[in-house]
């Protein structure tokens, strides 16, 4: 569902009744509940948060009746009916009542909706404890245990960040057994709301002495509240949306119930909005006959303003909308505490840029340059009532159709909002189904920052989007013959089911779950499920054969393995059975369960025979279907950001593969760093052709989509024709993949297939993208081609951006991402001048901690000062652009996949016909490099290319690692100390490739292992 708003320049007209103030209603109801006797509060409020206060007070035993437009409250001692009470989703109810719950005649647990469990209230709890209220929580978040007993008083200190915390202390202090002094520390915000609390307390006979400046409050002890009759005034915060509509449209709008256009005559903490609106040029007049304020004009241009948001924090969203339609610059200062509301409201309102506005936030001030006209966009409300209503007002005055997520959030504070808009003839309605974003809409600036993102664990992202936009697209599974999709809610539910299934299989915190699957939705589900319960996902490349798979299982100590029964002609389940049945290999594994994903769901599946009785086999779909979701057990195992999340094995380029462990925080941070660098947004769709078992596909495909809350379009079998079709159909806008994917995509479009209209960024990883290819791809695809450098151990270290000059974006590996530092050093470790080739080293908050169970190898890759030694040769120019020029380690980069040269050489040495062997890179137009084997033969032996392939096949070596050229020579060139001079062989291989092309000769043979 979404809120659909049709923009219009037509006149807004009609009369709307301004609802009663929720601020007064909260305080009046609570104070009346503390006063023995009967209080009458005239002026009901239908705001959901006020209803939560009523519900909580009733749970505490307070009798509250409704008589027409009046709350009738029978106050007195709290007698709860049960040992817990809830504030629902109301922060005001929670903050005000957590301390007052101590006045009940029994101990209580104060809780609220689940998002409060991630909303720390530590400063408030500390202050309450200093006052003598026994309120505690192990997480400093609800639920909070409150012991029965009056506070003891004393001097307490509280931050001035949030007024509700101060008001919460003032409300409970009169009931202390000794004098209480509340002192405000630090920056002081939102004093108007505290002043309201003090005035309301006086109405009920509770006395508070306020010092000059409002930073010290003295409250006498042992006070008693007395009943009162009160009239609730109009809510200016709700009226503001009516005024804003009347400001951005030609208008004849009457807002009844407001007694004056002057803030001094209006009892409301947000009455200053009236003065600001007049300053901006809204023509307001009080109409005594109609009993309200009228706005009438044929079209106006508002004026920019300067505003200190400490006075009107909750007005920032709607005033920023009005400023977006104003002439000149508006500046909103002291906005940091506004970022602590139901959402980060400052960042949320930056979405106005998607509508053609010009907002800038420098961390302190929000600056808005007015636009002549805004256009429609697809936006997020972040489930924040003020953000939703404010952006809806902006959309109503824009050209085109806009959509907003969480369309019912307005009910929290202004249930009559849609009715009021309809009365003013503004077209807003809640619609079902997803709102499809435009292909090339202006991108939303990233919300938050890398530090904040790093505190969110992998599957928490999914849970967040399932709550915020449940029906939005999350996964597109583009199989060769069908396409399946999952919404965020569906993905979240399946992840929960898979997580419960893993728990049923005995998976504990920190256990490794291995998965050898192609790119499919089940990979996404199992990866997120493992992370959700604190397990570690261990992806294994689908191209790996028994040898590589057995190594990964043995080294990872994986307890569970998930495989597909049939992929690209190989039966992975039967290969797994062979591994387990091998007497040498099977007994070395920690494996307890194998889950087999059937390639054709819905048909019968027979598990392969396996003699190893220590391992239990399961059919994936059957196991999922028989699992009962246990959310309590799942939530109890939620990992911390510092916990391990992913275990990947390197390609073993300098020996055996090495295990690289990454934490949740490093994965989330790495993804966010790319989001900020490019930038990316929720309006993007992430196309993922790279294997999800590779860091490029896993982190910068799947995980990136989680962080963004954007769809991940996964394709199991690479087919450029299918790729173009999928991106076109599902608005694929971002791709990160190796050079061969880009080459094939360009060739497909050059053959006549229309380029995908939504594609805007292609990040090329695995090897530097040739300048000629980048230029050609930019022209053919109409997208920005960005070079990048990264490793499994570090994530991306450098990246070009769409706005970089072509001379830098093409042919380089980009610039360091924010938070990353690069340096080029000589062999002695000294930094070399700009432009000088040397050893590339980097430091980044995303660098891994070390290789799994190999401290010796870890020590080799870290410099004495902790910088990571990449093993690459590179230059760094004066502008900070990186250019990798070679590799220190003997690596062959075959289309982004690193061939484990040393390991294959050692295997070749075992062949009875081979005396000596060396493998080097051979240039290739499409893949970048292929492997060429130079060998010398033992006396009298012969060796053909086919025989070499057969030997490697017998060793269960992945075909991608087989040399694709065999050169038999008389002697392997070596230096004086016996080291192979591979540079000589590389030059020879390059010359042979250039001279012979695709033709075979008597001295060599070639084959493609794709």
- For residue 919, the 8-state DSSP code is E
CA pair distance 746, 777, nearest whole angstrom: 6
Tell me the Ramachandran region of residue 577: left when phi exceeds 0, alpha when psi lies from -120 to 50, beta otherwise: alpha
* Angle at CA of residue 710, ends 704 and 714, nearest 5°: 70
DSSP 755-810: PPTT--EEEEESSPPPHHHHHHHHHHH-SEEEEEEEETTTEEEEE--TTS-HHHHS
d(CA 317, CA 333): 13
Please identify which residue in the block is written with the tokens 């998607």: 354
List phi, psi (to 5°) of 210: -110, 130
- Residue among 238, 65, 91 at smallest CA distance from 163: 91
What is the DSSP secondary-structure string of 311-341? Answer: TSGGGHHHHHHHHHTEESEEEEES-GGGGGS
Residues ≥6 apart with Cβ < 8 Å to 759: 687, 727, 732, 733, 734, 735, 781, 782, 783
3-state DSSP assignment of residue 842? strand
Is 22 annotated as belonging to a binding site? yes
Q: Which two tokens stand for residue 486?
A: 């999952």
Cα 171 from Cα 224, distance rounded (Å)? 12
Do residues 685 and 730 touch, judged by C-beta distance below 8 A?
yes
The two tokens of residue 472 are 């939005």
Query: Is 493 annotated in some ligand binding site?
Result: no
Q: Is 732 annotated as a binding residue?
A: no
Residue 292, helix vs strand vs coil: strand
Q: Is 643 considered catalytic here?
A: no
Which position among 235, 314, 731, 804 bears the catalytic label? 314
Token pair, residue 395, equals 């959309």
> Cβ distance 518 to 563 under 8 Å?
no
Report the 3 state secondary structure along 652-708.
CCCCCCCEEEEEHHHHHHHHHHHHHHCCCCCCCCEEECCCCCCHHHHHHHHHHHHHH
658 annotated as ligand-binding: no
* Distance between CA atoms of residues 514 and 159, nearest Å: 47
Residues 707, 448 contacting (CB under 8 angstroms): no
Instruction: Record the tokens describing residue 332, joined without a space.
Output: 């909103």
Q: Is 311 annotated as a binding residue?
A: no
- Please tell me whether 345 is known to bind a ligand: yes
Mark residue 896 as left, alpha or beta (left: phi above 0; alpha: psi -120 to 50; beta: remaining): left
Tell whether 926 is in a known binding site. no
Residue 571 · residue 546 · CB < 8 Å? no
Alpha helices in 35-153 (DSSP H): 48-59, 91-100, 122-130
99 is in an annotated binding site: no
User: Is residue 821 annotated as involved in ligand binding?
Assistant: no
Name the nearest CA neighbour of 82 among 100, 56, 108, 53: 108
Give the bridge partners for 518, in sequence order: none
- Tokens 């061939």 locate to 899
Packed helices 316-324 and 385-396: angle between N→C axes, nearest 10 degrees:
20
119 labelled as ligand-binding? Answer: yes
**Which residues are known to be catalytic?**
314
Binding-site members for 3-phosphoshikimate are 22, 27, 163-164, 314, 341
Binding site residue list for phosphoenolpyruvate: 22, 91, 119, 164, 345, 386
């Amino acid at each position: 569902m979404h809120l659909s708003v049709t923009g219009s320049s037509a006149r807004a007209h009609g009369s709307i009744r301004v609802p009663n103030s929720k601020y007064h209603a909260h305080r009046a109801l609570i104070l009346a509940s503390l006063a023995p006797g009967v209080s009458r509060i005239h002026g009901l409020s239908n705001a959901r948060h006020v209803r939560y206060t009523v519900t909580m007070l009733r749970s505490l035993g307070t009798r509250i009746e409704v008589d027409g437009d009046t709350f009738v409250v029978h106050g007195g001692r709290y007698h709860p009916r049960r040992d817990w009470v809830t504030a629902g989703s109301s922060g005001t109810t929670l903050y005000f009542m957590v301390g007052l719950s101590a006045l009940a005649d029994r101990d209580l647990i104060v809780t609220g909706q689940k998002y409060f469990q991630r909303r720390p209230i530590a400063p408030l709890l500390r202050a309450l404890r200093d006052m003598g209220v026994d309120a505690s929580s192990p997480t400093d978040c609800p639920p909070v245990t409150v012991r029965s007993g009056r506070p003891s008083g004393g001097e307490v200190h509280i931050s001035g960040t949030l007024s509700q915390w101060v008001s919460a202390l003032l409300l409970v202090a009169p009931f202390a057994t000794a004098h209480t002094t509340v002192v405000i520390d630090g920056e002081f915000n939102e004093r108007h709301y505290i002043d309201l609390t003090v005035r309301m307390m006086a109405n009920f006979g509770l006395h508070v002495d306020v010092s000059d400046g409002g930073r010290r409050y003295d409250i006498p002890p042992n006070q008693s509240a007395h009943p009162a009759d009160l009239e609730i005034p109009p809510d200016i915060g709700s009226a503001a949306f009516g005024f804003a509509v009347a400001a951005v449209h030609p208008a004849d709008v009457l807002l009844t119930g407001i007694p004056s256009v002057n803030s001094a005559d209006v009892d409301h903490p947000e009455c200053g909005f009236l003065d600001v609106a007049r300053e901006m040029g809204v023509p307001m007049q009080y109409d005594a006959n109609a009993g309200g304020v009228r706005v009438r004009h044929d079209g106006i241009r508002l004026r920019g303003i300067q505003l200190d948001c400490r006075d009107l924090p909750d007005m920032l969203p709607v005033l920023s909308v009005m400023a977006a339609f104003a002439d000149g610059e508006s500046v909103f200062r002291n906005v940091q505490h506004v970022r602590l509301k139901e959402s980060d409201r400052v960042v949320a309102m930056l979405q106005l840029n998607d509508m053609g506005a010009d907002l800038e936030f420098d961390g302190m001030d929000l600056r808005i340059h007015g636009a002549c006209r805004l256009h429609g966009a697809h936006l997020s409300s972040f489930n924040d009532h003020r953000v939703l209503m404010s952006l809806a007002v902006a959309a109503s005055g824009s050209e085109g159709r806009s959509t907003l997520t969480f369309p019912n959030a307005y009910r929290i504070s202004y249930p009559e909002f849609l009715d009021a808009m309809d009365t003013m003839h503004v077209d807003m309605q809640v619609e079902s189904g997803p709102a499809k974003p435009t292909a090339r809409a202006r991108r939303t600036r990233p919300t938050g920052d890398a530090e904040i993102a790093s505190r969110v664990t992998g599957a928490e992202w999914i849970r967040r989007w399932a709550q915020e936009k449940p029906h939005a697209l999350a996964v597109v599974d583009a199989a060769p013959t069908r396409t399946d999709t999952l919404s965020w809610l569906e993905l979240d539910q399946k992840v929960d089911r898979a997580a419960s299934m893993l728990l049923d299989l005995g998976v504990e915190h920190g256990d490794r779950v291995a998965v050898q699957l192609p790119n499919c939705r089940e990979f996404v589900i199992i990866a997120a499920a493992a992370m959700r319960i604190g397990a570690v996902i261990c992806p294994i490349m689908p191209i790996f054969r028994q040898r590589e798979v057995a190594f990964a299982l043995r080294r990872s100590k994986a307890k569970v393995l998930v495989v597909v029964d049939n992929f690209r002609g190989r039966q992975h389940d039967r290969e797994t059975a062979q591994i387990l049945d091998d007497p040498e290999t099977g007994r070395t594994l920690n494996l307890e369960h194998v889950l087999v994903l059937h390639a054709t769901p819905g048909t019968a599946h027979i598990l392969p025979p396996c003699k190893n009785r220590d391992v239990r086999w399961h059919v994936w779909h059957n196991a999922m279907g028989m699992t009962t979701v246990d959310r309590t057990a799942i939530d109890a195992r939620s990992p911390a950001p510092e916990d391990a999340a992913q275990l990947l094995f390197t390609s073993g380029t300098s020996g055996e593969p090495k295990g690289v462990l990454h934490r949740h925080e490093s994965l989330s941070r790495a993804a966010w760093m790319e989001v900020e660098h490019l930038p990316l947004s929720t309006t993007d769709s992430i196309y993922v052709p790279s294997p999800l078992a590779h860091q490029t596909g896993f982190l910068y495909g799947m995980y990136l989509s989680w962080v963004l809350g954007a769809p991940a379009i996964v394709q199991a079998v690479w087919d450029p024709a299918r790729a173009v079709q999928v991106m076109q159909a599902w608005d694929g806008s971002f791709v990160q993949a190796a050079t061969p994917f880009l080459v094939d995509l360009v060739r497909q479009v050059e053959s006549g297939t229309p380029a995908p209209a939504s594609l805007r960024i292609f990040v090329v990883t695995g090897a530097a993208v040739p300048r000629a290819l980048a230029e050609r791809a930019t022209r053919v695809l109409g997208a920005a081609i960005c070079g990048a450098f990264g490793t499994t151990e570090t994530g991306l270290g450098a990246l070009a951006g769409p706005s970089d000059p072509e001379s830098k974006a093409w042919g380089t590996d980009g610039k360091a991402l924010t938070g990353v530092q690069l340096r080029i050093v000589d062999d002695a470790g000294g930094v070399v001048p700009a432009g000088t080739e040397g050893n590339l080293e980097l430091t980044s908050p995303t660098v891994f901690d070390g290789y799994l169970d190999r401290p010796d190898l870890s020590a080799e890759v870290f410099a004495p000062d902790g910088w990571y030694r990449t093993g690459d040769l590179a230059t760094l120019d004066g502008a900070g652009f990186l250019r990798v020029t070679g590799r220190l380690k003997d690596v062959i980069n075959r289309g982004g996949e690193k061939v484990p040269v040393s390991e294959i050489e050692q295997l070749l040495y075992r062949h009875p016909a081979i005396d000596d062997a060396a493998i080097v890179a051979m240039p290739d137009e499409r893949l970048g490099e292929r492997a060429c084997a130079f060998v010398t033969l033992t006396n009298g032996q012969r060796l053909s290319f086919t025989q070499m392939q057969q030997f490697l096949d017998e060793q269960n070596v992945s075909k991608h690692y087989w040399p694709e050229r065999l050169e038999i020579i008389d002697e392997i060139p070596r230096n004086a100390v016996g080291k192979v001079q591979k540079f000589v062989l590389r030059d020879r291989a390059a010359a042979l490739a250039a001279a012979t092309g695709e033709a075979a000769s008597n001295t060599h043979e070639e084959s493609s292992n794709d």
